[in-house]
Structure 1
Amino acid sequence: MKINVEIDEELEKLEVLIRAKEWNEEVNQLMDRLKEKRRSYFSGTEDETRHVFKPEDILYLYTENKTVMVRTEEGRYRMKERLYELEDELPEEQFVRLSKSAIANLDALEKFEASFNGTLCVYFRNGEKEYVSRRYVSEIKQKIEGKG
């Protein structure tokens, strides 16, 4: 794929042109990526205080007693959104589903350990750990190996 960027001071709005020989899966993927709306900031509460953080500050998100929690280096915060809603708003190349109840930032991972029952145990930079459901093991491996 060839990428060109052209700066034109006459333009009022950003314009994107995709040139291809034919409409194919790669064009579809580019279109989907361009249409994605990602949030620059998220917020969560701790006691009565609302904290604001960027996606890259998130170590992982998980559910606890039917509440979505986010873990950052600074602390744990309660989120108002559901886990699947947050998953849709996080950069998919940076975040991966670990289980039905957890999503991890790949940049926050330190190591993996195989478990006796076919799952993985994921260790984060801060020393905490989460387990990966068998269902999500292959997706994580693909993303780690740069194929996903």
Structure 2
Amino acid sequence: MKVNIDIDHNYEETFITIHAKEWTEELQNLVNSLNQKTNKRIVGIEEEKSILLSPDDVEFIYAQNRKVYAVIHRQSIELNMKLYELEDMLAAHHFTRFSKSVIGNLDQIKHFELAFNGNLCVFFQSGEKEYVSRKYVSEIKQKLIIGGK
């Protein structure tokens, strides 16, 4: 993919034109990324206080016992959103589905190991680890290695 940028003070607003031979999933993802508004913060609850969390600091988010938690530096912080809502909201911050109950931040991954049963074990910068279900392994490997979205 080639990218051309033309900066000129005569332009009233920013506009984007895409030239392509055919419509692809890559183009759809690009359009989705351009149209998506990125949230700067998510709200967590800690000891009856609302705290602002930067999505870039969150390693992964998991659901347990009908509650949702964000993990930052080995600390779990409760969130007041559903996992699927967070997955949509944080896609622009390189979060992706790991399993039915976990979404993870691809930018926080230090390394990963393929288990004998086909699952992927992901190790985060803090030393925390989380498993990726077989259903999501190929998608995550593609995103990690190739950089696809």
Q: TM-score range, shorter-chain basis?
A: 0.7 to 0.9
Distance in 1, Cα, partners of 2:105 & 2:122: 11
Match of 2:16 in 1: 17
- The answer for unaligned runs of 5 or more in structure 2 is none
Q: Counterparts in 2 of 1:106-145, with a 5 A limit?
A: 106-145=106-145
Match of 1:4 in 2: 5
User: 2:38, 2:48 → 1: CA distance?
Assistant: 26
SS in 2 for 1:130: strand
Give 1:57 deviation, angstroms. 0.9
- Do the aligned partners of residues 19 and 119 (structure 1) sit closer, same or farther apart at CA in structure 2, a change above 3 Å counting? closer
Q: Deviations over 1:75-107 (max 9, x none)?
A: 321111111111111134622211011111112
Q: CA deviation at 1:147?
A: 4.6
Give the conservation status (yes or no) of the 8 Å contact 1:111–1:124: yes
Query: Percent identity, aligned pairs only?
Result: 37
Q: Counterparts in 2 of 1:37-116, with a 5 A limit?
A: 37-73=37-73, 75-92=75-92, 94-116=94-116
> Size of the alignment, in residue pairs?
146
Distance 1:94 1:78 in 2: 21
- Please report the TM-score for the alignment, with normalisation by the length of structure 1: 0.84
